[in-house]
Amino acid sequence: MIPFGYQRAEDAEGAVATVSRDPNAMFLGGGTNLVDHLKLGVASPGLLVDVTGLPLDRIEPLPGGGVRIGAGVRNSDLAADPTIRSHYPVLSQALLSGASGQLRNLATTGGNLLQRTRCVYFQDVSTPCNKREPGSGCSAVDGYTRYHAILGASRLCVAVHPSDMAVAMTALDAVVQVQGPDRERHIPLVDFHRLPGDAPQRDTVLTHGELITAVDLPSLPTGCRSRYRKVRDRASYAFALVSVAAVLDVGDGTVRDVWIALGGVAHKPWRATRAEEVLRGAPATEETFRRAAEAELADAQPLPDNAFKVPLARNTLVSVLRDLTRRDLTSQTPEDS
């Protein structure tokens, strides 16, 4: 680990100004990913600006409905928040399926969005990786690909985004609030993370020095249901092979509206717009769910070790939609949402 300076941010504007003018400076949140990267040599900043002391640790109702989640809210506190549990169970479930209790107590909302891929080659500085070192090549594309992308990848990078929280937030139409040196930005989460294309070193659309200050969730229609399901190699404390976040609004046996995102399949949380199109206005039946899942995965391009992800994603999506139409499901958005 190379030596670095450390500063505690006094306010968001000052933190943004400091990091903006120093190309070797980085923001520090809970540290559960960045400190690992310092040890591994994946990141080597000259200055860390600690933003955990900023007053961004609140979960507040928004005037027009919905909720604002401060970027510093810890993953554990967000998952346990009564409003999130009752109105956005998909988000609590996603958070609780990620990492472990003692990691969630440290990890922040902003940091969770900005965590980097767990691709083994990205984390191993002895191997080429276009994301870590642009132009050096991709070790994964002809290597071990069990955990890699089946949708939206490029020849330069087949890594997947590791977050569970971001998958749920993508289904929930979250908007990321960003403070920059010159202006604030409101970025829909579906546009926040990038596909790798020819610049896999860029995970998001943020520019250097921009700071996430909050994530806004819109309110959901009364009576709709939501759910997160994660499939992995062991029962707990592992990253997703495939995950599904879905919000479903059904009336008189017809899908009134639906919001779906997939995790573990792409370089970003994958909003399943094709499946949503098939479902909207269609009868809420197993046959429709199956057609929707097939439409979403139709263009999947699996790698040698991960062809299983295509049927796994299809089946998990159908299963989650089936669960959401069960009569006895407990989690449902309350009347006062």
User: Binding residue for another protein (CB under 8 A) from 64, 102, 253, 335?
Assistant: 102
Closest C-alpha among 261, 262, 263, 258 to residue 278:
258
Write down the number of H helices and E strands in the chain.
Answer: 11, 12
What track of x and - describes contact with another protein for positions 29 through 68 (by CB under 8 A)? Answer: --xx--xx-xxx-------x-x-x----------------
Quick one: 76 or 127, whose CB is closer to another protein? 76
User: Binding residue for another protein (CB under 8 A) from 60, 61, 125, 237?
Assistant: 237
User: Binding residue for another protein (CB under 8 A) from 67, 99, 220, 241?
Assistant: 99
Structure tokens at 55: 């007053």
Q: Is 241 in the site for another protein (CB under 8 A)?
A: no
Number of residues that bind another protein (CB under 8 A): 40
Distance of alpha carbon 121 from alpha carbon 284, whole angstroms: 42
Per-position b or e across 278-309, b if 16+ CB within 10 A of its CB: bbeebebeeebbbbbbebbbeebebbeebeeb
Q: Is 85 in the site for another protein (CB under 8 A)?
A: yes
Q: Is 24 in the site for another protein (CB under 8 A)?
A: no
Q: Is 100 in the site for another protein (CB under 8 A)?
A: yes
Distance of alpha carbon 287 from alpha carbon 298, whole angstroms: 16
Contacts of 25 by beta carbon, 8 Å cutoff, 6+ apart: 18, 19, 45, 46, 47, 48, 49
Q: Is 108 in the site for another protein (CB under 8 A)?
A: no
Quick one: 106 or 282, whose CB is closer to another protein? 106
Q: Phi and psi dihedrals of 229, rounded to 5? A: -130, 135
Quick one: 1 or 62, whose CB is closer to another protein? 1
Q: Is 97 in the site for another protein (CB under 8 A)?
A: yes
Fill in the amino acid letter for 98. Answer: G
Distance of alpha carbon 50 from alpha carbon 46, whole angstroms: 13
Stretch that binds another protein, among 75-83, 129-137, 166-174, 277-285 (CB under 8 A): 75-83
Q: Phi and psi dihedrals of 62, rounded to 5? A: -90, 145
Structure tokens at 299: 């263009």
- Minimum separation from the CB atom of position 155 to another protein (A): 30
Quick one: 3 or 253, whose CB is closer to another protein? 3
- Minimum separation from the CB atom of position 89 to another protein (A): 5
What Å distances lie between residue 40 and 113, 115, 279, CA to CA? Answer: 20, 15, 44
Contact set with another protein (CB under 8 A): 1, 3-6, 28, 31-32, 35-36, 38-40, 48, 50, 52, 76, 79-80, 82, 85-86, 89, 92-93, 96-97, 99-103, 105-106, 230, 235-237, 330-331
